[in-house]
Structure 1
Amino acid sequence: MDWAGFPFIPLSMVLPLLGILFILFLEEKYSKWVALIFSGSTFLLSLLSLFYFDFSKADKIQFYHQLLLIEELNLKLSFGVDGLSYLMYILTTLTMFVAICWSVRDHQINHRLKEYYAWFLLSETSLIGVFTSWDLLVFYVFYELTLIPMFFVIGIWGYKLRLYSAYKFFIYIFVSSLFFLLGIVSLSVHHYRQFGKFSFSYFDLLQNQYDLAFGIFLFLLFFIAFAVKTPIVPFHTWLPDAHGEAPTAGSVVLAAILLKMGTYALLRFNIGLFPKESVFLMPILVLWGIATIIFASWFTISQSNVKRFVAYSSVSHMGFVVAGMFLLNKEGLRASIIEMFAHGLTSASLFMMAGFIYNRLHSFNMQALRGSIRFMPVFAFLVGITAFSSMGLPGGSSFWGKFLTIMGAREYTLQLALLVIAGAFFSVLYMLYLMKTLYLDTKEEGRLIHFVDVRGFKLLAFLLVVLPMFLVGLFPFLFFSFFDAYIDTLLTQVIKAVGGIPWR
């Protein structure tokens, strides 16, 4: 059998939909187990595909399948992966399995179980569609479709201000996405004027030529949508509300995957389709990313709610991703992509940490958490690894994102590298503050001594994200092999577009 032609991607999208059908027709008490089986099968399928992905051709599209939908518009369902999208595909299947593992024993998820697990499975299909689509209009449909499950997850199973947060999340993302839709239509019309046919194919649209002013206009249409989704300051205000009110599994998916839709799209579409415009705007965007790191770090350390604390820390990490990619050199792009994956792991673990403590203390207040970790040694160990990884300690998963961003910035000027170091310093401060609160502050022992340590499905969920942190931190070359070829191809496009190397 030719496994290279096996429909790994379409099957990964169909399996969660089959899970939804089973959930609809079986009794409610079986919903969690059906979701667990089908999300687990999808994750295992993504791991199986690793054996058949050709890493020597990671810049090429593999596992490609397409279906023509509208011939006049050359609109196709086209799915496949190169190294970049493949890494995001695996992160998606891992995160969804982790979120459902966590939900199985989450006491907050005790009603309307059929709807809850169906929304998560629909979200998995939509997210895989986002990271594997090569038609911009199909990408847009999946991009928007991810809004619906999370809107209901926050609005039904969230905390006190869930409805306000759900509506705010939906409105911010939906309105900003309209700029993206206008950009897609403009690209296709421009392609028609140049080549005599409409197309939404990423490969066809790469052939478009623009004058600089029109190119910047298109770049900004895309950038507005993705900057809100990422988010970067000042487009970030929906995120702390959504995270603060979402159930734990919802926060895990939001932070680990939904934010990466924005950074993935910036890399794939803004830089990929507009390399000349990216170079022109590069100084502004790099400084914007660094400003996001610093301001979000200040916001983080001022929070009294631990979920909002972790939410603002996610904004800070996205600043590293944006600054790194717009450095437009190999080190910066490597830093950006590996930080996307690393943050997916650490943010998932931190939100599970917040949810685990809430189940015992029924509070997200930082002062209520003082010393709360001392009687749970396994949990304390897992959270410690996560915290050190998040702050960029050598051997931790975020170390390479920060270190390579500094290296990439140094290729331009020492001053720019020092600004990145300042951002990294602030990101260390807020994680040290969290660890001090959890580990070192004292609290009345009678309230804590009866805590039960993490175990069962929740322990499995933690291990699924904590163990890969060691892989990223200690063996980064394993992950570079996914996307180095893609980076080389992208940089070749940039150099060809501007007629030289932008960092020299």
Structure 2
Amino acid sequence: MEWASFPFIPVSMLLPLVGVFLIFILEEKYSKWVGLFFSGATFLLSLVSLLYFDFSKDQKIQFYHSITLIEELNLSLSLGVDGLSYLMYILTTLTSFVAVCWSVRDHQIEHRLKEYYAWFLLTETALIGVFTSWDLMVFYVFYELTLIPMFFVIGIWGYKLRLYSAYKFFIYIFVSSLFLLLGIVSLSVHHYKQFGKFSFSYFDLLKNEYDLVFGVFLFLLFFIAFAVKTPIVPFHTWLPDAHGEAPTAGSVVLAAILLKMGTYALLRFNIGLFPEASVFLMPIMVLWGIATIIFASWFTISQSNVKRFVAYSSVAHMGFVVAGMFLLNREGLKASIMEMFAHGLTSASLFMMAGFIYNRLHSFNMQALRGSIRFMPVFAFLVATTAFSSMGLPGGSSFWGKFLTIMGAKEYTLQLAILVLAGAFFSVLYMLYLMKTLYLDTKEEGRLVHFVDVRGFKLLAFLLVVIPMFLVGLLPFMFFAFFDVYINTLLGEIVKAIGGSAWR
């Protein structure tokens, strides 16, 4: 078989499942190494696939494979990637490998190792399914399956309030997903009324035609599910609890990739399937995103727990993603996708920072962290790089997301651009506050001087996310190449939906 026709996506989903099988037949002491090998192999396979991805045709579905499941409903397991989903696929395999690397030497993970690493591998398979599925019912199944492993990871290996946080996480996401299920079924029934057959295929459902009222109704059904998953204010209240109590690797996966399920789906389904409704609701969505940035930034700076601090900062960054995509112009869409990827890197690094300090001080309290970084130069450099990237300074990974969002807003009004700029300013404030606490505040040196700098698997985990931060910040055209053609296609659909208005 030629590599160009190699089933990269199905194999990427099967490799973690093989790892799960081996974990349960081998002794527990081998679990971490099996998890490390298979998550690493999946990541390497995703990198190999880069050599065969045709960037000139990134709006086409590549590495596509389909298996019919229920012929009467036109239900099939259709897997493949375009430019948008491919970038999320790479982020998924990278994040999963980083989480397992971190766990190998995490002192908090010392019991029930078989279950722990099995849940992470199962999460990876489900996440790849979410980002590569082209059948909406199959997408929904994978979307729901990601709930189960994370529920157990938080509930078993989390901190003091782990059970409360796990149940809250599960209930919020599961209940909101019922709106998604209703929306998917409504789409298929509507397709049947128009074309005489049921279908859950994304490509078939693109052909549906709606009046504006019904389109807005369907848009809102999808939006409720994805707004909770993203999350945006006021649907965010489950996130700080889940992050605050999850083990470090759980927080890494949750922030870096599970949140992107919501923003990816908003872009793929809400805007892709309902462009007319998206245009109609655009002012509300953009202002909602900006409000999320500002409110979440104030929530962030008021936190005394560093994990909840990073969790609220994630909500603020998701506000940038939502505001950018619903500007419905080229700059806004580019900003949204770039910020999705950039936040995946910075949030993973920030949660590893919190976990690393907790292992030394056994506290997440901000006051206990004062000056805690001064005796660890390598760790200090990695955290500073992450903080400056998260702020959106030039050369940092989040710069292009924030800058392009401001540019996209300026195409409408100066006042809108100023609102986005104010949100970016607040994100700088809370990161400066964190850096002041870690680097500039003083504390008794006797408690800190014995700290050991980051090394081994933890250093590898940091480097796997910090190095791509430089690539995103300094070489953004490499990432634009993934989705430029996709954005052009999407903008064409938006123009068509509004009868050729002045959207570029």
Whether contact under 8 Å (1:219, 1:277) holds in the other structure is: yes
CA offsets 1:273-316 (integer angstroms, 9 cap, x no match) = 00000000000000000000000000000000000000000000
- Residue matched to 1:283: 283
Secondary structure at the aligned position of 1:394 is classed as coil
- 1:106-121 equivalence runs, <5 A: 106-121=106-121
Is residue 291 of structure 2 the alignment partner of residue 301 of structure 1?
no
Whether contact under 8 Å (1:68, 1:74) holds in the other structure is: yes
Is residue 204 of structure 2 the alignment partner of residue 204 of structure 1?
yes
Distance 2:80 2:436 in 1: 45
CA offsets 1:122-179 (integer angstroms, 9 cap, x no match) = 0000000000000000000000000000000000000000000000000000000000
Secondary structure at the aligned position of 1:63 is classed as strand
Is residue 167 of structure 2 the alignment partner of residue 174 of structure 1?
no
Distance 2:326 2:4 in 1: 33
Secondary structure at the aligned position of 2:207 is classed as coil
Secondary structure at the aligned position of 1:134 is classed as coil
Distance 1:266 1:30 in 2: 40
Is residue 59 of structure 2 the alignment partner of residue 97 of structure 1?
no
Secondary structure at the aligned position of 1:316 is classed as helix
- Residue matched to 2:225: 225
Distance 2:502 2:96 in 1: 39
Whether contact under 8 Å (2:230, 2:260) holds in the other structure is: yes
CA offsets 1:226-256 (integer angstroms, 9 cap, x no match) = 0000000000000000000000000000000
Distance 1:478 1:331 in 2: 16
**Cα pair distance change 1:79/1:303, threshold 3 Å:** same
Distance 1:166 1:502 in 2: 46
- 1:202-351 equivalence runs, <5 A: 202-351=202-351
Is residue 37 of structure 2 the alignment partner of residue 49 of structure 1?
no
CA offsets 1:62-120 (integer angstroms, 9 cap, x no match) = 00000001010000000000000000000000000000000000000000000000000
TM-superposed deviation, 1:503: 4.6
Distance 1:501 1:489 in 2: 16
TM-superposed deviation, 1:501: 3.1
Distance 1:25 1:116 in 2: 15
Distance 2:106 2:357 in 1: 12
- Residue matched to 1:374: 374
- Residue matched to 1:185: 185
Distance 1:448 1:500 in 2: 63
CA offsets 1:2-29 (integer angstroms, 9 cap, x no match) = 3222100000000000000000000000
- Residue matched to 1:391: 391
Whether contact under 8 Å (1:279, 1:502) holds in the other structure is: no
TM-superposed deviation, 1:502: 5.1
Distance 2:143 2:400 in 1: 29
- Counterpart residue type for residue 475 of structure 2: F
Distance 2:344 2:232 in 1: 16
- Counterpart residue type for residue 6 of structure 2: F
Distance 2:280 2:297 in 1: 28
Distance 1:84 1:503 in 2: 20
Distance 1:204 1:91 in 2: 28
Whether contact under 8 Å (1:409, 1:420) holds in the other structure is: yes
Secondary structure at the aligned position of 1:64 is classed as strand
Secondary structure at the aligned position of 1:160 is classed as coil
Whether contact under 8 Å (1:219, 1:274) holds in the other structure is: yes
- Counterpart residue type for residue 11 of structure 1: V
- Residue matched to 2:352: 352
Structure 1, unaligned runs of 5 or more: none
Whether contact under 8 Å (1:252, 1:352) holds in the other structure is: yes
- Counterpart residue type for residue 130 of structure 1: V
TM-superposed deviation, 1:497: 0.6
Distance 1:286 1:17 in 2: 40
- Residue matched to 1:73: 73
Distance 1:419 1:337 in 2: 20
- Residue matched to 2:497: 497
Whether contact under 8 Å (1:406, 1:421) holds in the other structure is: yes
CA offsets 1:177-220 (integer angstroms, 9 cap, x no match) = 00000000000000000000000000000000000000000000
Whether contact under 8 Å (1:77, 1:138) holds in the other structure is: yes
TM-superposed deviation, 1:457: 0.1
Is residue 443 of structure 2 the alignment partner of residue 443 of structure 1?
yes
- Residue matched to 1:477: 477
Secondary structure at the aligned position of 2:407 is classed as helix
- Counterpart residue type for residue 280 of structure 1: F
Distance 2:23 2:411 in 1: 54
Distance 1:500 1:384 in 2: 46
Distance 2:502 2:158 in 1: 47
Secondary structure at the aligned position of 2:501 is classed as coil
Whether contact under 8 Å (1:17, 1:121) holds in the other structure is: yes
Secondary structure at the aligned position of 1:225 is classed as helix
Distance 2:2 2:192 in 1: 37
- Counterpart residue type for residue 143 of structure 2: Y
Distance 1:318 1:383 in 2: 21
- Counterpart residue type for residue 179 of structure 2: F
Whether contact under 8 Å (1:412, 1:503) holds in the other structure is: no
TM-superposed deviation, 1:342: 0.2
- Counterpart residue type for residue 127 of structure 2: L
TM-score by length of 2: 1.00
Secondary structure at the aligned position of 1:68 is classed as strand
Secondary structure at the aligned position of 1:501 is classed as coil
Structure 2, unaligned runs of 5 or more: none
Distance 2:272 2:74 in 1: 21
Whether contact under 8 Å (2:491, 2:503) holds in the other structure is: no
- Residue matched to 1:87: 87
- Counterpart residue type for residue 199 of structure 1: S
TM-score by length of 1: 1.00
**Cα pair distance change 1:502/1:288, threshold 3 Å:** farther
Distance 1:503 1:409 in 2: 13
Whether contact under 8 Å (2:495, 2:503) holds in the other structure is: no
Whether contact under 8 Å (1:411, 1:503) holds in the other structure is: no
Whether contact under 8 Å (2:42, 2:93) holds in the other structure is: yes
Whether contact under 8 Å (1:157, 1:246) holds in the other structure is: yes
Secondary structure at the aligned position of 1:400 is classed as helix
Is residue 135 of structure 2 the alignment partner of residue 130 of structure 1?
no
What's the RMSD between the two structures over aligned residues?
A: 0.6
- Residue matched to 1:404: 404
Secondary structure at the aligned position of 2:249 is classed as helix
Whether contact under 8 Å (1:328, 1:502) holds in the other structure is: no
Secondary structure at the aligned position of 1:159 is classed as coil
Whether contact under 8 Å (1:263, 1:322) holds in the other structure is: yes
Identity %: 88
